[in-house]
C-alpha cells in the first residue's frame, strides 16, 4: 500500500509570529484519518518570526526531535541544557516523566524554519534526557544518512522506540534505495524541493506512507531534502 499525503491537505495554524503546518492531528487541528503513523505521532513544519519563540512549557512521555531547515533555534530546559541548533543539527529530547523547556529564534533579521517531530516511546515513565548530534551536508548528499535510532547506531541520536530515521539530500542524477523489512512500514516526508519516490512525484510538504512495500526508491530529486522513517 502506497498512500500520498499532500502538503495542502495538512492542518494549518498561523499566529502571525508563528506559522505551522501539521501532518497529523495536533492542537486545534483534528482529523481522525491522520492521528499518526505507527509510533510517529507529530510532524509539524514550523516557522518562527525573528525575535519570537515559545516560553517555558511542559511535555511528558514523548520523544521529541527538532530538525532545523533554515535559521537557528535556541533551546533551554530544566535539565540544565542550553544550546542553539542550526541546519545539520539533530536534537532529541526525551520528555519521559516530565520536562520544561523553551525555544526561541533570537535572530532579528531572519525567521527559523524547522520540523518538530514527536515519537511515542516504547515505555512510558522514562527519565527525561537530551542529546544532539550534527550531520553535515556531505553525509546526506545523494544518500540516506541514519540520524536517529533505538540503539544509537552509527553515532545517531537515541530514540526510545523501535524506529530509524534517515535524512537525505538529492539533486540531479542522485538516487537511493532503502529496503523495508517484512512487517515494518515507512513514512517519507519531503522537507523541501521535489523528488520521485516509488514512482510518485512529490513536492515540499508532501508525504508518502508505505505499508507492505519491500523498499523505498528515491530518484529525480530537485534540490530535495527528505526525512524517511522506518517504523515497526
- The predicted-structure confidence for 137-192, as pLDDT tens digits, reads as follows 999 999 999 999 999 999 999 999 999 999 999 999 999 999 999 999 999 999 99
Percent of the chain scored above 70 by pLDDT?
A: 100
Give the CATH H-level superfamily of domain 2-231: Jelly Rolls (2.60.120.10)
pTM to 2 decimals?
0.97
Q: Is 163 left (phi over 0), alpha (psi -120 to 50) or beta?
A: beta
pLDDT digits (tens, 9 = 90+) for 42-60: 999 999 999 999 999 999 9
- pLDDT on residue 44: 98
pLDDT digits (tens, 9 = 90+) for 4-43: 999 999 999 999 999 999 999 999 999 999 999 999 999 9
* CA proximity to 166, closest of 184, 187, 183, 185: 187
- pLDDT on residue 220: 97
d(CA 203, CA 173): 17
- pLDDT on residue 164: 98
Q: Tell me what the pLDDT averaged over the chain comes to.
A: 97
- pLDDT on residue 216: 98
Average pLDDT over residues 101-129: 97
* CA proximity to 167, closest of 176, 158, 159: 176
- pLDDT on residue 222: 98
CB 155 within 8 A of CB 96: no
- Bridge-based pairing state of the strands 207-211 and 185-197: antiparallel
Amino acid at each position: 500500500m502506497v498512500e500520498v499525503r499532500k502538503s495542502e491537505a495538512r492542518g494549518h495554524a498561523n499566529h502571525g509570529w508563528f506559522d505551522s503546518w501539521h501532518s497529523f492531528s495536533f492542537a486545534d487541528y483534528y482529523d481522525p484519518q491522520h492521528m499518526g503513523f505507527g509510533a510517529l505521532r507529530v510532524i509539524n513544519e514550523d516557522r518562527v518570526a525573528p525575535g519570537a519563540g515559545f516560553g517555558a512549557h511542559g511535555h511528558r512521555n514523548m520523544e521529541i526531535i527538532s530538525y532545523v531547515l533554515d535559521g537557528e533555534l535556541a533551546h533551554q530546559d530544566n535539565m540544565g541544557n542550553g544550546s542553539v541548533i542550526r541546519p545539520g543539527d539533530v536534537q532529541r529530547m526525551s520528555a519521559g516523566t516530565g520536562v520544561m523547556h523553551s525555544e526561541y529564534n533570537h535572530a532579528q533579521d531572519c525567521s527559523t524554519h524547522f520540523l518538530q517531530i514527536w515519537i511515542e516511546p516504547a515505555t512510558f515513565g522514562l527519565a527525561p534526557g537530551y542529546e544532539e548530534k550534527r550531520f553535515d551536508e556531505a553525509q546526506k548528499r545523494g544518500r540516506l544518512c541514519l540520524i536517529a535510532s533505538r540503539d544509537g547506531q552509527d553515532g545517531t541520536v537515541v530514540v526510545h522506540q523501535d524506529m530509524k530515521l534517515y535524512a537525505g539530500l538529492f539533486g540531479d542524477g542522485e538516487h537511493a534505495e532503502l529496503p523495508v523489512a517484512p512487517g515494518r512500514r515507512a513514512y517519507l516526508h519531503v522537507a523541501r524541493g521535489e523528488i520521485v519516490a516509488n514512482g510518485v512525484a512529490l513536492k515540499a510538504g508532501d508525504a508518502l506512507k508505505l505499508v507492505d512495500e519491500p523498499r523505498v526508491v528515491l530518484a529525480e530529486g530537485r534540490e530535495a531534502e527528505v526525512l524517511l522513517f522506518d517504523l515497526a
